[in-house]
Amino acid sequence: MNPPLISVLIPAYNYGRFIGDAVKSVLEQTFSDYEIIVVDDGSTDDTEEVVRQFRSVRYIFREHGGISKARNVAVQEAKGKWLAFLDADDLWKGDKLEKQVAYIKEHPDCRILFTRFENFTDMPSTQLNERLRELLQEKVEWCMASALIDAGLFKECGLFDESRMYGEDTEWIFRLKFSKISLNNCLDEALYLRRVHGMNITASYDGLYKKDICRMAMDAYRNIWKRKGNGSSRL
């Protein structure tokens, strides 16, 4: 059997109440040449029970070690030429993969393709605190979660930094930038739906995340420097 064109990678930790909807949003795609891998990072809720209802999904359980380790397990297990991450609490619009595949076929030099995204919530307005309301209104040009990624980039730029409990995707994107990989390919359409709720990692680490941007950039530079065989950087 030929490997799939795309590996859809879903890291999960205690998101049993959301992950079923996430998987369904992949299974309902208009594009079908993909595999789905869920890496359960030691959940103690019903995540496994929910995922195993979907027979076509490959489920991997590992002891709790953090989001970066879960992402790396997924990357290492993937068989696709292209990788697409989906956070376990988020959704895709039905034609996301179809439109991204059409774009990369027309742009053979593209190695990572983003889309716009929009926020949504199913929480009653009375339960939304000030930060969650801000997240709902947040406008971001693109996010890592929306990307379709050439799997070869992980061989060139390395896996996610497993010492990070948050911001691992942003640090990795900095590595691409320092490696002169174009980040300019983005579909001007919201095809990724980010769910805003009280358990968002983005909200939990928000203050630290903003303060840590410069550190992420320096860490990314160090990681690229080391991969080029130059030892430690002077940053």
What's the whole-number mean pLDDT along residues 37-59?
Answer: 98
The answer to whether residue 85 is domain-embedded is: yes
Give the pLDDT confidence of 154-169 residue by residue, as tens digits: 999 999 999 988 889 9
Higher-scoring residue by pLDDT: 225, 80: 80
User: Which structural domain range is residue 158 located in?
Assistant: 6-227
Whether 233 is in a domain gets the answer: no
128 within domain boundaries:
yes
Confidence of residue 199 (pLDDT cuts 50, 70, 90): low
**Does residue 220 register a pLDDT over 90?**
no
Confidence grade of residue 41 (pLDDT, cut at 50, 70, 90): very high
- Number of structural domains found in the chain: 1
pTM of the model: 0.84
**Residue at 1 is within a domain:** no
Is the residue at 157 inside a domain?
Answer: yes
Contact (Cβ atoms closer than 8 angstroms) between residue 145 and residue 170? no
- What's at 165, amino acid-wise? M
DSSP states of 173-235 as a string? HHHHHHTT-----EEEEEEEEEEP-TT-HHHHTHHHHHHTHHHHHHHHHHHHHHHTT--S---
- Binning pLDDT at 50, 70 and 90, where does residue 234 land? very low
Q: Is residue 33 part of a domain?
A: yes
